[in-house]
Structures are given as structure tokens and as C-alpha cells.
Amino acid sequence: MSDSLRGFTGLQKRLTELVTALERGDVDPRALEGVLYSVRIEFERLQSNAFGLHARTPGENQSHEGAAREVQRLVAVALQLAAKRRDEVAFELDRTREAKQRLGFYRDASTGDSCDIAG
């Protein structure tokens, strides 16, 4: 197995773990941007190495292309799950904020000050 194919396999493993964590709700979707940025940089490096000047057999090229497609698919899944999770978190925050406002209490997000709007 070539270094680039091993690298693609490593990215697939990282992304699979990330997708699993997103599905369980164990990852803050806001942290995903940094993770995917590092994945993108690594992916581009691996792709450059895999499909650059190196002479490969058709079978090796097919393996690299398949691995690259799988990494791209996993990134798309991770982005979809993160967007869904972000929407769920925003919905919960809105519900909590609305409940506090109905009770006459809220916290100023800019200062963190508690405010009693009922009295």
C-alpha cells in the first residue's frame, strides 16, 4: 500500500469517527470547521501526491480514486450532520430563551448580566 493510499485510509478512519460522534451528538458542530479545514489540507496534499507525477498502474489509480471519493463522501456526510446538529442546538437555545422570557428572566449575552424584566 502506498503512502498516499495509507493517508486516504487514515482520513477515512478519522472522518468515520467524526461522523459517528456527530450522530451521537458528542461533537460541538461549531468545532467541525477547524477539523474539516485540516482534513481538506491533508486531502489536497494526498491527492497531489497520489495523482501527481507518480506512475501508477490502473489498479493503483482506481484504488486512489475510490479512496478519494470515499473521503469526499464522508466530508459531505459530516457537513450535513453538523448542519442538522447546529439547527437542533439553535432550536433548543431558542426554546430556552423563550421560556426564560415568558418567566420574566433572561441573561444579556453580551455582558452575561442577569436581568429581571418582570420587576
| pLDDT (0 to 100) of residue 44 | 82
Output the pLDDT for position 35: 80
pLDDT tens track for 61-105: 777 788 788 888 888 888 888 788 778 777 777 777 777 776 766
Q: What pLDDT sits at residue 47?
A: 77
Q: Per the structure, how many domains does the chain have?
A: 1
Residue 55 has pLDDT above 70, yes or no: no
15-43 pLDDT, tens digit per residue, is 888 888 888 888 777 777 778 788 888 88
Residue 119 pLDDT exceeds 50 = no
Full domain range(s) for residue 47: 3-116
What does the chain look like in DSSP terms, one character per residue? --HHHHHHHHHHHHHHHHHHHHHHT-S-GGGHHHHHHHHHHHHHHHHHHHHSS----HHHHHHHHHHHHHHHHHHHHHHHHHHHHHHHHHHHHHHHHHHHHHTTEEE-TTT--EEES--
Predicted confidence at residue 82, as pLDDT, reads: 79
